[in-house]
Amino acid sequence: MLLLTSFLLNVKEDRASPTRLVCDNRLIQKYTVEAKDMEKRVGQCQALPPLSCPAVLPLVDFTFQQWKSKSNETKRREILCDLALLVGAATAAQGQVSNECGARQLNQLYRQANAFFLLLQTFSWEVRPPHMSQTTLAQEGHWEPSCSPHSMEQTHVTSIFLTYRQLVQGKLSFFFYDLAKVLCKQGQGDSRDPPCGAR
């Protein structure tokens, strides 16, 4: 339940295991909707000045053919790299944004991005189901994957939310769809619909 508590900090009514997140596509759809809502709400905040120190954000776009050619472990580490940059960007922006509306949305984005970050560290892509190991959990915000993701600098707070929404709607959704083929042997996993655009 420790993993569940960490992942669903802001959605207390849910009681989902990591496997359920993969096998029940309604959950990833829920987080996609929430990412869109956060992006919309921060765009409605008043007087959000440019960041004095630019946020370093991952480039999360990809082509479907390139994605299909990668192993699940490669995809996992790539997403971890993207999430690490997003968590860092949200943390840095929180120290620069005094606007209550913007700060509230940044806090929510940080919590969700960091929860996905911790969750992906707990998965095992072996034959056995994913499991949680306390030794695999790094201290929050202090674990760095061994990668050098493509990145860009942005001074607009809204760019952080745009990037997060694109990551959840794109790589994460496709990633969980790919995992469902392996991990969800029975029931809902067999009939899971692919993300929009998947062929």
Write down the pLDDT at residue 193.
Answer: 61
Tell me which residue of 161, 164, 159, 168 sits closest to 31, measured CA to CA: 168
Please give the full DSSP string across 112-140, using - where no structure is assigned. Answer: HHHHHHHHHHH---SSSPP---GGGPPPT
Write down the pLDDT at residue 36.
Answer: 96
Count the Cβ atoms, other than its own, within 10 Å of residue 17. 16
Write down the pLDDT at residue 19.
Answer: 73
Residue 154 β-bridge partners: 55
Q: How far is CA 123 from CA 19, 82, 156, in A?
A: 9, 17, 33
Q: How far is CA 18 from CA 23, 90, 159, in A?
A: 9, 24, 29
Q: How far apart are CA 84 and CA 146, in angstroms?
A: 11
In this prediction the pTM is: 0.76
**Beta strands per DSSP E along the chain:** 55-58, 151-154
Going from N- to C-terminal start, the domains of the chain cover 27-124+149-184
Tell me which residue of 197, 199, 196 sits closest to 28, measured CA to CA: 196
Q: How far apart are CA 147 and CA 58, in angstroms?
A: 12
CATH placement of domain 27-124+149-184: 1.20.1250.10
Write down the pLDDT at residue 179.
Answer: 86
Give the pair of three-digit tokens for residue 115: 């929860």
- Are residues 178 and 30 in contact, defined by beta-carbon separation less than 8 angstroms? no
DSSP 189: G
Write down the pLDDT at residue 123.
Answer: 73
Write down the pLDDT at residue 132.
Answer: 34
Query: Over the chain (199 residues), what is each successive 10-residue block's mean pLDDT?
Result: 42 52 83 94 89 93 90 91 94 91 94 92 53 35 55 93 96 90 61 55
